[in-house]
Structure 1
Amino acid sequence: MTDHKNKIDDPPKGTEASPTATNKSTGETQGDESYWLKKKNELNGEGVPYSEWDDSRMLVPSSLELGPGAVDRYVISKQIVRMQEPRRLTRDDMDERRIIYPESKNQRMVNRFRDLRTRLLETSGGNNFTMVVTGASAGAGCSFVALNLAAAFAFDQSKTALIIDCNLREPSLNTTLDIQPEFGLTDFLDDSDYDIARILYPTGIPRLRLIPAGSQREIPAEFFTSFRMKQFLQAVRRRYPDRFIILDTAPITESPDARILAELCDYAMLVVPHGRVTPDLVEQAATAFNSEKFVGAVING
């Protein structure tokens, strides 16, 4: 969908058998559904109830321990259904926050994001991917587009989505979703022993998770150029073979973060505020990306 411009009309703001892996301490097979149900009532090493961190673990045995290509889609879909939702945003909550959902009264906006999702899936050949979303200028509505695109991917009950707030200067996603995070991305990147489950937050939207910016944000570029950031994105993608990962970043005209992160991701998308920037500025912002990764611009307004 290279060079495609999509207008968003909203103001900026198998078989019965399944693969198994044996748990070394218990001898139980992890592909067995009873294993996961049993784990619901157990604690991990940090004393956190399994129900609070299972969505960060439950896809690991089938995708990592059995190797590439051994993932059983039936097992994954059953695990996705069991993802815990400690809270659910109501329809009024979603409307107030301008977040799409299938039954929204604003079907025009829902269909815009569904169309955008379809075009991206065509580009990726139906495979999951990581994508940077950035604005052509401040106030372009990048976070609005990134969050709703992630929500559109989460419409599918067999898929999950993850949105990562990489706008370390002005993070906003946790406020939009009414989440008060204790930890986030920079905390994980700063500590090699950090458990990724500690920075994954349910959003109140089924099958959509958030990784907030984190508490340490002094020098963003140093976090994003670190080898640990590259490892983090690779690990998250391997753990979730059916998860689409969206990175919300600072405007490309104000920070190098989007360009840095785009080198680590599959795609990059530009959000252009309608009628507020010149064509030359848009072209300059678009050409900052690798042409093979740039999938196009979304006009928001």
Structure 2
Amino acid sequence: MSGNALSRVFPGALSPTDSFSGGQLRTRRIISHDMADPRPADAFRDLRTQLLAHHAGNSVILVAAVQRGNGGSFVALNLASAVAFDESRCAVLIDCNLRAPQLHERLAVDPKKGGLVDYLEGRVESLSDVVYPTGVARLMLVPAGGRREASGELLGSQRMVALLDSLRAADASLSIVLDGPAVSSSPDARILSQVADQSVLVAGYGRDTPTAVREAAAVFDPARMAGLVFNRVP
């Protein structure tokens, strides 16, 4: 990967000043190389490998839950972290859950210059100003930057398309993960799926009925539906 090229596009975003300790990663429920139980990390590595194999280059991957409480943000964050395990790759995680953003808190990012909302509404012109380093090496975050109830118009805007195109053009080894809202909560997941290359649906194990899963999956274009992840499996 051309780390120098990415550093020029996103100054400082690849060089976290304070990396999370093992204890901080566990508290924040973020996978790491040295977990006592390696199964969660292995599961996300496998998911990462399958997704990257299905789409050449730097794909945009949407992660959305069937309903709130299924852990969609948990899956999105750890999928991006698994991509960043590979020293030849980087990941940008974008908090697209504009009605209930949380990733900036999870990753201890203070969006001083603004976030996705500020960029999409035109208050921030430079994309590099809303791409922040995190405590996880090679993982960058675009925080939501604010709450918006009428979020579909922003997420489906030409400025959102341009943002993703800019990230795609930054480096061929950069993966973009969109943390979308639950399918049952709003039309935003469907809107985001139209700008993503692949969509991953997160179902709660023993929580979502087969009918609910089928109805949620039907929202996405079958050609871009990468698969289903069951979260909270005992």
Normalised TM-score (structure 1): 0.72
Q: Assess if the C-alpha contact under 8 Å between 2:45 and 2:82 holds in 1.
A: yes
Partner of 1:262: 193
Which structure 1 residue ranges, 5 or more long, are not aligned?
1-30, 37-53, 60-79
Q: Secondary structure at the match of 1:83?
A: coil
Which secondary structure state, in structure 2, belongs to the residue aligned with residue 255 of structure 1?
A: coil
Q: Deviation of residue 58 (structure 1)?
A: 6.7
Residue 113 in structure 1 maps to residue 65 in structure 2: no
1:132 to 34, 57, 62: 62
Contact persistence 1:187–1:216 (CA under 8 A): no
Structure 1 runs (4+) deviating above 2 angstroms are none
Q: 2:177 aligns with which of 243, 246, 254?
A: 246
- Tell me if 1:156 matches 2:108: no
Note the 1:12-27 alignment, pairs <5 A.
none
Give yes or no for the alignment of 1:286 onto 2:212.
no
Q: What residue in structure 2 maps to residue 230 of structure 1? A: 161
Q: Do the aligned partners of 2:201 and 2:227 also contact (CA within 8 Å) in 1?
A: yes
Q: CA deviation at 1:236?
A: 1.2
Distance 1:57 1:136 in 2: 35
Residue by residue, what CA displacement relative to the aligned partner does 1:226-278 show, whole Å, maximum 9, x if unpaired? 11111111111111321110000110111111110111110111000110111
CA RMSD of aligned residues (A): 2.1
In structure 2, the CA distance between the partners of 1:193 and 1:251, relative to structure 1 (3 Å rule), is: closer
Alignment match, 2:136:
205
- Which residue matches 2:76? 146
Pick from 253, 273, 276: which aligns with 2:204? Answer: 273
Note if contact 2:59-2:197 (Cα within 8 Å) is conserved in structure 1: yes
Contact 2:63-2:177 within 8 A present in 1 as well: yes
Partner of 1:122: 53
Question: Any idea what the Cα deviations from partners look like across 1:128-154, whole Å, max 9, x if unmatched?
Answer: 200110000110100000000000000
SS of alignment partner, residue 222 of structure 2: coil
Work out whether residues 14 and 139 of structure 2, in 8 Å CA contact, stay in contact via their aligned partners in 1: no
Q: Alpha-carbon deviations, 1:83-118, whole Å to 9, x = none?
A: 322211111100111101112222011111111111
Q: CA deviation digits over 1:18-45, x for unaligned, max 9?
A: xxxxxxxxxxxxx9x9xx7xxxxxxxxx
Which SS does the other structure have where 2:85 is aligned? coil
Write the distance in 2 (CA, Å) between the matches of 1:284 and 1:108: 30
Q: 1:193 to 1:58 in 2, by over 3 A?
A: closer
Residue number among 197, 216, 229 corresponding to 1:298 in the alignment: 229
Question: 2:54 aligns to what SS in structure 1?
Answer: helix
Residue type matched to 1:57 in 2? V
Q: Which has the larger radius of gyration?
A: 1
Q: Percent identity?
A: 38
**Counterpart in 2 of 1:57?**
9
1:220 aligned to 2:135?
no
**Alpha-carbon separation, structure 2, partners of 1:225 and 1:114:** 30
Gaps of 5+ in 2: none
Give the number of aligned pairs.
229
- 2: CA distance between counterparts of 1:146 and 1:212? 13
User: Equivalent residue of 1:113, what SS?
Assistant: helix
How far off its partner does 1:218 sit?
3.9
